[in-house]
């Protein structure tokens, strides 16, 4: 953190340094969740601890509620410069500080709100599980190189698989190139704000070099894939945080959330997961969609769900129309009535009277599509504008040509009223309608088992920490600790560096310089530490 702060104070967005204080991140100690939440609430945010990567929809939903997701692990010392796994350095020291900027904080919240509604595909779930597994293996101790390579190949196979990207895949790309790896300012002199860069000593230095291509940020970033296991060959630069919102809204306009129609419904059918359609009356149907019928103009004239389904209005479940009522699914025709070119929702009292829409009266009518409904009209539910949005029938037949879509033995028929689908999105309209939609991953983080020898080294670290905190001046104990480290833990470089900072002893310096020669992979880390001191 000290190395990061020394470098980033010159190259990060201006809100970074101040943001560390405003979000409860200490340079000297691992932050506590209680401490972070106590400070974060001052800017309207909160934090929660999780186990590694969580599903994209869940991550987005937390963000929508202004909750930072903090991975409860910390990277191994050999991965200090970069790790593909989320950890407390990445989350707390990367994501948290920039939310002190109100413009950026609102972008994050809005991104979460829209991203949580993005429709996923089966491929997204496969890739998520593969990436999660790889990140866990790369951070675990004692994992064979063969096992890591096998996990890498699986991620590469899925990344290279030719599939039409889902909405979640596209919005995840936007998230990566902004929230994780974004630059802000001019192409000639950009500043860092992406959490992946802020939490990686290696990439924060690398990303500003000419070798990394700088591209003006635009909606095209949604179509640029990324590889989490490698430094990024190109990065996107936004002129300011307000522009991020503009691109996000531009992307949202392409989503089924705002476009609805048959394409939106088809995305939900393809996803095979719980999603919601909203009709022109405001009625929302949430469930696993399995079927639709279209007319020659590609208008949806009939839809169907299977399994638990709930009906809502304005994100609140309609009383009596939860998953207990519709445990076997829900189906309904849509469109205008034949002959009068009018949708039921647009019919006034005289129109309803003319078509015999009375409670307790038998009724038969036909849609423009040719779908017929015949049964006993029991009751109707209206929306806030007084328009019918749901009609219940008993002893009802619904037919489309020779195909029977609903028959009396299937129970009461609740017909959704609406001429078209105006929105389609992932998840339930009322989150209380369903139990937890997604089970936690079966691949859990591998917790390190600390050996007796590692415990001994940790005690030596603790003794140096205590010395520092008590402002002692007698270096005899420190030099004794150094000699024990040199003898029993000859590969450890960080504790000798701490001891050198406090003592400026030449014997310690010589040992560090020897380590640089013997361990070329960590030589630059020691050099960076010495430069910092």
292 in the same domain as 175? no
> Which parts of 188-320 fold into alpha helices (H)?
195-198, 201-206, 241-252, 256-259, 261-271
Q: Which residues, at least 6 apart from 289, have a Cβ–Cβ distance to it below 8 Å?
A: 265, 268, 269, 275, 277, 303, 304, 305
Of the pLDDT bands very low, low, confident and very high (cuts 50, 70, 90), residue 437 is low
Q: Is residue 194 located within the same domain as residue 324?
A: no
116: number of Cβ within 10 Å = 23
CA angle 154, 156, 162 (to 5 degrees): 105
Asked whether residue 58 falls in the same domain as residue 171, the answer is yes
Do residues 230 and 212 touch, judged by C-beta distance below 8 A? Answer: no
Lowest mean pLDDT among 78-87, 270-279, 418-427, 428-437: 78-87
Over residues 202-210, the mean pLDDT reads: 88
pLDDT at 158 over 80: yes
Q: Which pLDDT score, from 0 to 100, does residue 474 have?
A: 85
Is residue 241 situated within a structural domain? no
What total of structural domains would you count in the chain? 3
The answer as to whether 391 is a domain residue is yes
Determine the pLDDT at residue 191: 96
CATH code for the domain of 22: 1.10.800.10
- In the predicted structure, residue 48 carries a pLDDT above the cut 80: yes
Q: What is the pLDDT of residue 6?
A: 86
Letter string b/e over residues 436-451, b meaning 16 or more CB atoms within 10 A of that residue's CB:
eeeeebebebeeeeee
For residues 197 and 522, what is the distance between their CA atoms, to the nearest angstrom? 20
Q: Of 325, 320, 343, whose CA–CA distance to 333 is shortest?
A: 343
Q: Is residue 440 part of a domain?
A: no
In terms of domains, do 192 and 290 share one? no
Tell me: pLDDT of 371 over 70.
yes
Listed range (333-342, 369-378, 500-509) with the worst mean pLDDT? 333-342
Residue 441, in any domain of the structure:
no
Looking at the fold, whether 102 and 32 belong to one and the same domain comes out as yes
Tell me the C-alpha distance between 312 and 321, whole Å: 8
Q: What is the mean pLDDT of residues 155-171?
A: 90
pTM of the shown model: 0.87
* 313, 201: one domain: no
pLDDT tier at 498, thresholds 50, 70, 90: very high
Do residues 33 and 181 share a domain? yes
My answer on whether 116 and 262 are in the same domain is: no
pLDDT at 438: 65
Residue 418 has pLDDT above 80, yes or no: yes
pLDDT at position 496: 97
Q: Are residues 341 and 199 in the same domain?
A: no
Q: Are residues 16 and 59 in the same domain?
A: yes
124 part of a folded domain: yes
> Looking at 195-199, 457-461, 482-486, which range is the least confident one?
195-199
Report the run of H or E that residue 40 belongs to, with start and end: helix 33-40
The pLDDT > 70 percentage for the chain reads: 100
Does residue 199 carry a pLDDT above 90? no
Give me the chain's average pLDDT, please.
91
Residues 64 and 6 in one domain: yes
Does 47 fall in a domain?
yes
**Distance from C-alpha of 533 to C-alpha of 527, rounded to nearest angstrom:** 10
Structural domain for 50, as ranges:
2-235
333: domain CATH number is: 2.30.30.100
């Amino acid at each position: 953190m000290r190395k990061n702060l020394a470098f980033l104070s010159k190259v990060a967005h201006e809100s970074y340094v101040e943001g560390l204080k405003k979000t409860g991140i200490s340079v000297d100690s691992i932050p506590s969740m209680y401490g972070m939440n106590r400070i974060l609430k001052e800017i309207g945010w909160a934090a929660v601890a999780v186990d590694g990567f969580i599903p994209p929809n869940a991550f987005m939903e937390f963000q929508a509620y202004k909750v930072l997701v903090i991975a409860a692990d910390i990277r191994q010392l050999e991965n200090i410069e970069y790790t593909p796994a989320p950890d407390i350095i990445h989350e707390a020291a990367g994501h948290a500080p920039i939310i002190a900027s109100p413009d950026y904080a609102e972008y994050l919240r809005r991104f979460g709100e829209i991203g949580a509604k993005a429709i996923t595909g089966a491929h997204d779930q496969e890739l998520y599980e593969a990436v999660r597994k790889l990140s866990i293996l790369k951070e675990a101790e004692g994992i064979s190189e063969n096992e890591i390579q096998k996990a890498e190949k699986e991620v590469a196979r899925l990344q290279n698989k030719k599939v039409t990207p889902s909405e979640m895949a596209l919005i995840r790309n936007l998230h990566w190139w902004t929230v994780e790896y974004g630059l802000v300012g001019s192409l000639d002199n950009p500043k860092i704000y992406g959490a992946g860069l802020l939490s990686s000593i290696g990439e924060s230095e690398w990303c500003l070099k000419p070798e990394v291509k700088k591209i003006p940020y635009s909606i095209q970033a949604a179509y640029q894939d990324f590889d989490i296991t490698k430094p990024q060959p190109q990065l996107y630069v936004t002129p300011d945080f307000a522009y991020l919102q503009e691109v996000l809204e531009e992307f949202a306009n392409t989503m089924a959330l705002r476009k609805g129609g048959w394409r939106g419904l088809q995305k939900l059918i393809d996803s095979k997961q719980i999603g919601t359609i909203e009709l022109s009356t405001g009625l929302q149907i949430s469930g696993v969609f399995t079927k639709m019928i279209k007319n020659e103009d590609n208008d949806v004239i009939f839809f169907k769900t299977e399994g638990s389904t709930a009906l809502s209005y304005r994100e609140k479940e309609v009383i009596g129309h939860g998953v207990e009522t519709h445990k076997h699914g829900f189906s309904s025709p849509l469109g205008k009535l034949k002959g009068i070119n009018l949708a039921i929702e647009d019919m006034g009292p005289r129109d309803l009277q003319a078509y015999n829409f009375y409670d307790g009266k038998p009724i038969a009518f036909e849609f423009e599509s040719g779908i017929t409904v015949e049964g006993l009209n029991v009751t109707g539910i209206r929306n806030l504008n007084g328009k019918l949005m749901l009609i219940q029938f008993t002893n009802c037949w619904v037919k489309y040509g020779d195909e029977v879509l609903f028959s009396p033995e299937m129970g009461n028929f609740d017909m959704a009223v609406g001429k078209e689908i105006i929105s389609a999105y992932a998840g339930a309209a009322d989150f209380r309608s369903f139990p937890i939609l997604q089970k936690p991953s079966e691949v859990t983080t591998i917790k390190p088992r600390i050996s007796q020898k590692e415990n001994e080294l940790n005690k030596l670290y603790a003794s140096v920490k205590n010395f520092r905190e008590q402002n002692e001046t007698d270096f005899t104990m420190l030099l004794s600790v150094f000699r024990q480290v040199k003898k029993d833990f000859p590969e450890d470089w960080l504790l000798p560096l701490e001891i050198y900072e406090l003592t400026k002893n030449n014997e310690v310096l010589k040992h560090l310089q020897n380590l640089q020669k013997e361990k070329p992979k960590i030589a630059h880390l020691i050099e960076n530490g010495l430069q910092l001191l």
